Structure 1
Amino acid sequence: MICIFLFIFIICKYLTPLLIFSIAGYLQDELGVRNIRGNCKYEDFKKYLTRIEELEAAISYAALESQCEIESLKLDMIAMEERCFQAESLSQQMAVDKAKMQEVLEECKMQLHEAHDTISFLEMENNELKLVLKGSERRFKDLHYEVEEHLSNWLKDISGTGASMHVESNKNFSPVLNGNHSSLNGYCTCEEVLCPLVSKLILLETWDENVKNELQEMANQVQESELLVKKLKEELREEKLKAKEEAEDLTQAMAELRYEITGMLEEECKHRASIEQASLRRIQDLEEQVDIILIFLFCLLVFNCYKFEGYIQKMVEYQLYH
């Protein structure tokens, strides 16, 4: 029994240094492996730091790009405001032009009303002149008929008186030569009768010429009035057509401008909405990527710290044990 214990003691005494040496070698190998792993983790950590810096640079670049897009949006908004201001100015100018056109239309309506009044007055005056002309012609015809009747009666009386005087002169030719002047007195009486009649005829002819001239002047005035009425009607028709065309052109221009402004506003709103949505989507994607990378790095750091803490604890225990 004692021999067995001695044998075991001798074996343990000689085998213990070998075991300790082998354990130390194993621990050194483990330490080298851990150092290698630590170096690898350190390199990975450097890579992650580099990746983080790259991501930060990308984020700063994206932020700068977003800022540029925001500035461009501001510039677009300023340009849009200017265009809106120009559109408002143009609409105000068109409103002023419309007011002026309305005034012109009112003036045209007033001129049209005055032209209608003038046409009515000229037509009434023309009708009156026609009535006066017809009355003058009728009076002239009546006067002409009366003059012809009086002249024919007078000629008949003169012819009868002349025949009787001719017979008496043939019978009493010699007494007449001896100083009887009865026939001469008859001729004088005839001359006294004819002179006023001839003067009346001359006056009547002169009055007839005057009446003809007046009638001709009245006819000319009527013709001029008719021509003036036709001219006024033509001018009135042209003014109506011109005013209608100008009103249609103005209405069409205002409709085109309103449609153009509406289209510009809709396009600008769509463009701004699309840019804002794209910017928000990109910012959200970048924020999600940054959050994922930060979570991953945090987990990796926690895991490496935990492993490094365990490794340090083992090394401390090993040093304390030896």
Structure 2
Amino acid sequence: MYHYIRDEPPLRGSDLVGCHCWSHRTFTMRCLLSAVLLPLLLRPCTGADWCYQTQVSCPSHCKGPDQWKLVNKDCGESRQSPINIVTKKTVLDERLTPFRFTGYQTVFDSTMKNNGHSVQVNIPITATVSGGNLEETYKAVQFHLHWGNNGGPGSEHTIDGEQYPMELHIVHMKQRYDRLEDALKDPSGVAVLGFFYEESTSTNKKYNEFTHGLRSIQNTNGNTTLRKISLNQLILPEANMTNYYRYDGSLTTPGCTEAVVWTVFENPIPLDIQQLKSFNDLKFKDGSPMVGTFRPIQPRNGRVVYRSSGVAVIASVILILASISAALGLSRPN
């Protein structure tokens, strides 16, 4: 179900062969030329200069995740996302009750777009989420995804250091706001629902229209019409909506604004390997494969991660079954 990640800090851009000219004691003319020319080519830091680690290389002057704070200072603040959720350190919160969804079952048409760093779909209908200890009703704005390479590790959040192949983010803002920019000025103005994906042996037919559409948006700013889709179609019934984690965090791309109430669901959505690999057809603006589109995990900095009672029930059942199994093992005759 999971992909293992070693318990070590993520590589810095300067540690990678692609942009560290003396890596592995190797000196190349390409890197020499880059060292001479890059200072002449560097532009002032703007939002357009950020990129993912897979895009960082010697001839590139985009700023990878370890330098995002140079693009926007908020990326270096103390309440950043994503994080590694350590399940044994989560705190049970009885207020994390089931959510109330409206409009999630409504079928709509929308534009699916390659925005240069992900695939994004705007939500043109009124769909809201409330309950689950959210302080207000939030309305859906858009959804997008983060993924790895050929179905490899690619989710942004991790669970006990384990990374799923992909993660879906459904972005909401408080219903009283008209613009996302205004909601981001509120410390809890945005609520993001995060869902993991896992590799399955069978095709998830509910995603056929979506994955087929990826073929039409390979290049940056490419778009196509996604027809007859609903939010329920993306997440139900595969994901158990009562089992989730909650913490306060940020956007996971620059400007990294710390205005997000995060809900990360426990149970993953299944896709077969070909469906997962179809995201590799997309390209960054430089024409390179759009892979590894996730931000490395960020320090928790003392933040508490809460869990719903649904997660606690499952954990209790697992512990009970483990205890029964151990007891039966001890009672077996030699």
Q: Does the pair score TM above 0.5? A: no
Task: Flag the structure with larger Rg.
Answer: 1
Of structures 1 and 2, the one scoring higher in RCO (CA 8 A, sep 6+) is 1
The structure that is helix-richer by fraction is: 1
Scaled by the length of structure 2, what TM-score is found?
Answer: 0.13
Which is richer in strand? 2
